[in-house]
């Protein structure tokens, strides 16, 4: 299913960005080297991010319950967070509306 029609981002591409460490809609766009356009997809991406984080926490808790010695860390599920751009304060407000 397409999430962002402006950039042809489907749910698989958004989930791939989450797997690589994206945590917000803005970081999903940065992962795919684009910026939010119309903004209609932002609320859907936010809910997908919340579900993804909840799923990661659930998997980490289940892995810890099964075996504390071989527990999978949450970072293995969610990836490491993407770094924020060095010029984040210089980006106009309309460009970070997806944060």
Q: pLDDT, tens digit, for every residue of 5-24?
A: 999 999 999 999 999 999 99
User: For 41-45, 47-51, 92-96, which range has the lowest pLDDT when averaged over its residues?
Assistant: 92-96
Contact yes or no for 14/28 (Cβ under 8 A): yes
pTM for this predicted structure: 0.67
* CA 63 centroid distance within chain: 22
More confident residue, 55 or 71: 55
């Amino acid at each position: 299913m397409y999430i962002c029609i402006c950039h042809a981002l489907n749910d698989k591409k958004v989930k791939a960005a989450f797997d690589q460490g994206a945590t917000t809609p803005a970081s999903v766009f940065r992962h795919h080297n684009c910026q939010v356009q119309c903004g209609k997809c932002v609320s859907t991406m936010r809910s997908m991010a919340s579900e993804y984080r909840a799923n990661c926490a659930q998997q980490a808790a289940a892995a810890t319950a099964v075996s504390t010695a071989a527990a999978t860390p949450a970072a293995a599920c969610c990836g490491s967070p993407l770094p924020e751009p060095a010029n984040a304060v210089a980006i106009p407000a309309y460009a970070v509306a997806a944060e």
